[in-house]
Structure 1
């Protein structure tokens, strides 16, 4: 997916402040990032690294002329998680976060802050990290019950809290020979 947003000019100071808040709210709901921070996967300065990622995303929007490409933003976040937290985000959440941030940026260019207000007014129920831990603990306590939700399923549930309306891609199914074709991850490994 290489969809782009037009750019549409610089953000007003009010829009930039709203976008900064929106980035913080979305990142606060991004379970992979919050787990990396809480568990200090980036070392003692994990919180500062998360704050730097948010600042980098805001700077990307504020200082780039556009158009803004989804793949570029997803790659920036994917690479930052890998470099700063030694974490490979393979659950698709970086893409979902990128999509939400691009939508927010477009709204902010039009001085429309409704999605940011919605995030501000709908606090996530509890802490995403503790919920993931609780589900992981329940899985450990059970006797390998397949009915228990997994952390991956919890990731999908958490991403729904971000109000991402993009339909989930269907899982690849094996062909008659048992082989599954996996779509390429655009931009991975490029410098």
Structure 2
């Protein structure tokens, strides 16, 4: 049992060291993954991809959406929920010929903003 405690402590020290010494690239990877995971759980977008409402390359378009969101967040630290909502509305309309009016765009935009804010706090 004592050995297990030491292993746990090593993991805690390792996590602490990583937090203090993590590279910006690693932080960017966390943000990229977070955006991808959030979009992969978004039912409206996944329905559009599954039913190929954006054509045969719908999956690629959803991946491009994640990339564009990451790029948007990388360019500015000051982005509003409304900016993201408008971006998502426009992207779904242009890429998937889809309008989602179930409130999920607003929810996803808020979650993306929260993810971005957490990323900024972790980067400083």
Task: Tell me the TM-score normalised to structure 2 length.
Answer: 0.77
In the other structure, the counterpart of 2:102 is 91
How many equivalent pairs are there? 101
Out of 37, 41, 55, the position equivalent to 1:29 is 41
Write out per-residue CA displacement over residues 19-73 of structure 1, whole angstroms, 9 at most, x where no aligned residue. Answer: 1000111001000000000000000000010001000000000022x31111011
Return 5+ residue gaps in structure 1 as ranges: 1-10, 113-191
Return 5+ residue gaps in structure 2 as ranges: 1-22
In the other structure, the counterpart of 1:47 is 59
In the other structure, the counterpart of 1:82 is 93
Out of 72, 95, 117, the position equivalent to 1:106 is 117
Residues in 2 aligned to 1:53 and 1:25: alpha-carbon distance in whole angstroms: 12
- Which structure: greater helix fraction? 2
Could you list the structure 1 runs, at least 4 aligned residues long, displaced by more than 6 angstroms after superposition. Answer: none
In the other structure, the counterpart of 2:31 is 19
Contact 1:15 1:109 in 2 (8 A): no
How many angstroms does 1:74 deviate by? 0.7
Task: Tell me the TM-score normalised to structure 1 length.
Answer: 0.51
How many angstroms does 1:12 deviate by? 2.3
How many angstroms does 1:85 deviate by? 0.5
Q: How does 1:1-191 map to 2 (within 5 A)?
A: 12-64=24-76, 66-111=77-122
Residues in 2 aligned to 1:110 and 1:72: alpha-carbon distance in whole angstroms: 20
Residues in 2 aligned to 1:12 and 1:110: alpha-carbon distance in whole angstroms: 12
